Structure 1
Amino acid sequence: MSDISGKGEHDMKTLSTSAEDDSGHEIGIGDVQAVGLQKSFHLWSALGISFSVTSVPLAIGTYLSVSVGVGGSPVYFFGYVVSVIFNLCICASLAELAAVFPHSSGQLYWTSQLAPQRYARGLSYLVGWLTAAGYFFWTAATFLITSELIFALVQICHSHFTPLAWHYYMCYFAIGLWALLPNTVFFKWYPLFLQGLVVYINLGSLFILVLLLVRSSPKQTSEYVFKDFVNQTGWSSNAVVFFIGLLPGLTAINGFDSAAHMAEEMSEPSRQVPQVMFISAVASTIAGLPMILVYMFCITNPANLLDPLGGQPIVQLMVDSLHSLPLSIIGTLIFIICFACASITLLTTFTRIWWSLAREGGVPFSKFMARISDSSQLPINSIIFSVVACSLIGLLELGSATALNAILGSAVLCIFFSYAIPIACSLMSKRSAFERPHYFNLGKALGTALNLISVVWIIFVFVWLCFPLYLPVTMDNMNWAVLACAVVLLISGINWLIHAKTEFHVSRSIQRG
């Protein structure tokens, strides 16, 4: 196995100025040409990863449990719209960064290029750990949701069966092994699988949409969907309820950087990465809106969603609304396949983040984690570590489902935090890195405005994501997201003192005073 240590000695060169490649396309500032990884992904396969990471048309249904008592349908719909508008500002800001600095380290590398030189190394290290933690939690959450959907299907077919915690964990572990295979043994066919996945998600969503519209009766009124505010949270202010109910939209249109971590496996990353980021976000936004409306209009028994089959309200909705066991089974299978595939793509993203952080010396056993297999040209050690780590955190399900769900809820906090730092650094440097010609050029005025809106929005929602959904606060409903983020910071701090303080290195192609 070849060793990519991450101290600037690996087979990669960084271009400090813009240029053109042999085909005449512009190469972004800081564009990378990595020898270690094979160029396995192109525009459509990378789009398959980015689109399926969130799988918005289907995944948005899994947030029904949040909306039922937290504002109801109006918050679910209008909260999605508000969140999407501001999240697209973040996406545009990050896409421009990816065009200028295409690199598999994503926001870690962007921070190293944009932060004041005195703070670049420390901030880059922090961003790297926040990004890795966010996708680690997100990957584990997808494993869990998939296992819940599977046992919801079992309960549809066998209503008297009650799954135990260890049932969920064994299924959770099996999903991890399933996600491992396309990322290793069957990686040769992975890009083709990703192209088909985009088609599957959209066709599956269309099938669910038509099925619910045809079969559900009676449908909800427009007043229920757009006006009937439901506050069962214990919070006296409806404004507070609206803001804490933004979670579906914040989570659904997110993960913009997933394509950025594939940069060194794409032939033209300075163009393809920002294209994938923005196309995926816009497509997800458009696909999510009609699905939300269909879900809301087709709820026939809102009370059942508070205690749904398998913990998944979308399954309960289909059972209540489709009035058919075979159709409910088919609909649930569509969701199971979607989330099983999303588990694969999220594992891919997490492994590339962990590998790139290891390459820079930012994790324990960095040299081991950063190795590329000579036979497969894949970071096998990082891939196996990722599956093992996700499997270990899943053990919390055996002791406390509340604890695991609370930790996984911190994924959005970590990822948003990792977005805010490079965008803020861009503003502090007065966008000087964007003065040279580059693809996806927002321009000085628009770029500054979008960067500023993004940072303010992230700070704003960061506060609300730390609020508990329900009062009075108990051990069961407490929001543990801040504690989970604190644990991430603690672990990264310990690793810094023991290992990374001397080993962590990030190259800087642009020198600043």
Structure 2
Amino acid sequence: MDEKNVEKALPPNTHTHIAQAPSPNNGYTGDRPHAGGGGDLTMMSGNGEAAARLEEMGYKQELQRNLGMVSVLGLSFAIMAVPFGTSTTLNIALTDGGPVTILYGWIFVSLVSLAIAASLAEICSVFPTSGGVYYWSAMLSTPKYSAFSSYLTGWLGTVGNWTVTASITFGGSQLILAAATLYHEDYVPTAWQTVLVYWAALLGSLLINIFFARHLDKLNTICLYWTGASIIITLLAMADTRNSGEFAFSHFDASPSGWPSAWAWFVGLLQAAYTLTGYGMVAALCEEVKEPAHQVPRAMVLSVVAAAITGLVYLLPINFVLPDITPLLEVASLQPMPLLYKTVTRSAGAALGLLFLILGIWVFATIGSLTAASRCTWAFSRDGGIPASGWWKVVNPRFGIPINSLILSTVVCALLGLIYLGSSAAFNAFTGVATICLGCSYAFPVLCSLLRRRHMVAKAPFSLGKAGFVINIITVVWISFSIILFCMPTAIPVTPTSMNYASVVFAGFSTIAAVWYAVNARKHYHGPTGSAVRVNGST
């Protein structure tokens, strides 16, 4: 792609070299001051090269680059939290098909997620910034629609990050209270008890993110080992198989859902789709990674591969030991996994031990998801995309992290928890909104790239090559279909308590975004090129 075409492709005031993939010789141009101070950037590597590249994209280096690929891989893996995610959403798959939905739904969504992750990784390798999807949309759109594309994608991505954090934290809170039923079968957690545990978990995650920020990379690495050990122990505990291979691989019963069989299978995909969403969130940590153009894209793709394998190893034994589904679906907490463990192991103590391993994974996931959500909020605020952005974009000088954005993300998630006081289907609403919003935010930059014949990623360090068009099309088509799919209730007929409120929550956030755009953002929001550190070097 020649320089003239690149200039036409970019938003106003954007240097042409931003659209080109960085190379080892892509040095500092000298037209802006180095945020870190000192040194010839053309001779620097590692953190210096990453900081120089960040300045080319219009931002100062404000966060410490102390993460490597394993840390990012661990964070992505922690957010997806396969054993935890598939356990807390097990009732969805059991309602909509059972073993066939659990197993083949996971395989199908894993393949599609791999295509999405690869599409995002390619773009991320060209634009490795914490702005992530909203920055990519701005760069890949035409100048006329750059700001609006960025604003729309930014809100979708931010809301998606918030609701993923809410759903992970909320699901674990339900699971904690469900553990009490192992010893007290008549105990039914109240809505207020669930919300209070949820708020306590959010507060704990906030404090860890603030006071142990320097150790988050170690926590993410530990998560990989904890998950592996948890799966091995779970397999050993459930080794006494009960069901036939025919049942585990081919039993399908959609009668609890009330939906036609084919449609029930698709609705049941929410279990896998919700679990496999976190890989794109790690783009928000690009400015804390030493070599983001290479390490973050690899971590995105490898985390999906690792999650896919992990899911198969964890879910297949569940199909073999799955007891009668009816009692599992009648659990008041909507979390059947504790009862499943107790039924299989014939011991409340053993079930509690297995549940402890899953809750350990939940702790890592809660911390990691709030980390990603806060960085996403901070990055979008840095460009004025959120009301009162001047407050949320501040990086605390003592801790070196955006504490205000951490607090905002925590408060938003805490307020979302109030939905549960009015509907027991709140968790399904969170999972649905998270999947829809993140999916849309992933699809939009990929669609922009497709519409422009993938010229902007032609020289990407992480290139999909000739397969790029097909992979990108799969990404856009699946996400478009999933928007409709995951607004559906998991079962019919629909009641006020079983209603899928994903569309309501989605509409609520959309209204806030639209009002803010009409009142303020359309006049003042200019997208990434309107950053506090502009591309032309002015402040």
TM-score (norm 2): 0.87
1-side partners of 2:63 and 2:72: how far apart? 15
Match of 1:440 in 2: 462
8 Å contact kept, 1:57–1:284: no
How much does 1:222 deviate?
A: 1.7
Match of 1:335 in 2: 358
Match of 2:23 in 1: 19
2-side partners of 1:461 and 1:417: how far apart? 9
Aligned-partner SS, 1:347? helix
8 Å contact kept, 1:90–1:450: yes
- Residue correspondences, number: 496
Match of 2:314 in 1: 291
8 Å contact kept, 1:58–1:205: no
How much does 1:63 deviate?
A: 2.4
Q: Are residues 71 and 259 of structure 1, via their aligned partners in 2, closer, same or farther at CA, if it must alter by over 3 Å?
A: same
Q: Which amino acid aligns with 2:491?
A: Y
How much does 1:337 deviate?
A: 1.8
1-side partners of 2:76 and 2:449: how far apart? 24
Segment of structure 1 superposing worse, 317-326 or 61-70: 61-70
Match of 2:440 in 1: 417
After TM superposition, the structure 1 = structure 2 runs for residues 418-497 of structure 1, keeping only pairs within 5 Å, are 418-436=441-459, 438-443=460-465, 445-497=466-518
1-side partners of 2:100 and 2:114: how far apart? 21
Q: Which amino acid aligns with 1:255?
A: G
Q: Which amino acid aligns with 1:336?
A: L
Q: Which amino acid aligns with 2:351?
A: S
How much does 1:464 deviate?
A: 1.8
1-side partners of 2:163 and 2:369: how far apart? 10
How much does 1:160 deviate?
A: 4.0
1-side partners of 2:442 and 2:358: how far apart? 29
Match of 2:420 in 1: 397
1-side partners of 2:523 and 2:398: how far apart? 31
1:228 and 2:251 are equivalent in the alignment: yes
1:209 and 2:235 are equivalent in the alignment: yes
Q: Which amino acid aligns with 1:187?
A: A
1:71 to 97, 107, 114: 97
Q: Which amino acid aligns with 1:490?
A: T
8 Å contact kept, 2:219–2:364: no
1:113 and 2:139 are equivalent in the alignment: yes
Segment of structure 1 superposing worse, 481-490 or 383-392: 481-490
Q: Are residues 468 and 507 of structure 1, via their aligned partners in 2, closer, same or farther at CA, if it must alter by over 3 Å?
A: closer
1:95 to 109, 121, 125: 121
2-side partners of 1:456 and 1:406: how far apart? 23
Q: Which amino acid aligns with 2:217?
A: P
Match of 1:277 in 2: 300
1-side partners of 2:258 and 2:172: how far apart? 32
2-side partners of 1:312 and 1:76: how far apart? 16
Q: Are residues 132 and 116 of structure 1, via their aligned partners in 2, closer, same or farther at CA, if it must alter by over 3 Å?
A: same
Segment of structure 1 superposing worse, 126-135 or 152-161: 152-161
Match of 1:374 in 2: 397
1:146 and 2:167 are equivalent in the alignment: no
1-side partners of 2:214 and 2:398: how far apart? 12
Deviating beyond 6 angstroms after TM superposition, the runs of 4 or more aligned structure 1 residues are: 23-30
2:345 to 313, 322, 325: 322
Q: Could you report, residue by residue, the CA deviation over 1:223-256 in whole angstroms, capped at 9, with x for unpaired residues? A: 2222222022565632212211211221222222
8 Å contact kept, 2:270–2:486: yes
How much does 1:488 deviate?
A: 1.8
How much does 1:498 deviate?
A: 2.3
Q: Could you report, residue by residue, the CA deviation over 1:55-108 in whole angstroms, capped at 9, with x for unpaired residues? A: 113422222211223111112211111111122111110010110111101110
8 Å contact kept, 1:396–1:404: no
Q: Could you report, residue by residue, the CA deviation over 1:122-181 in whole angstroms, capped at 9, with x for unpaired residues? A: 011011101111111111111111111111222223334332221111111110111012
Percent sequence identity is 30
1:200 to 218, 226, 242: 226
Q: Are residues 132 and 399 of structure 1, via their aligned partners in 2, closer, same or farther at CA, if it must alter by over 3 Å?
A: same
1:32 and 2:58 are equivalent in the alignment: no
1:175 to 170, 179, 201: 201
Query: What stretches of structure 1 of length at least 5 have no aligned partner?
Result: 1-7
8 Å contact kept, 2:171–2:427: no
How much does 1:395 deviate?
A: 2.0
2-side partners of 1:148 and 1:201: how far apart? 20
1-side partners of 2:419 and 2:17: how far apart? 42
Q: Are residues 477 and 162 of structure 1, via their aligned partners in 2, closer, same or farther at CA, if it must alter by over 3 Å?
A: closer
RMSD: 2.5
Query: What stretches of structure 2 of length at least 5 have no aligned partner?
Result: 1-11, 26-42
Segment of structure 1 superposing worse, 271-280 or 391-400: 391-400
Segment of structure 1 superposing worse, 186-195 or 315-324: 186-195
1:127 and 2:153 are equivalent in the alignment: yes
How much does 1:357 deviate?
A: 0.8
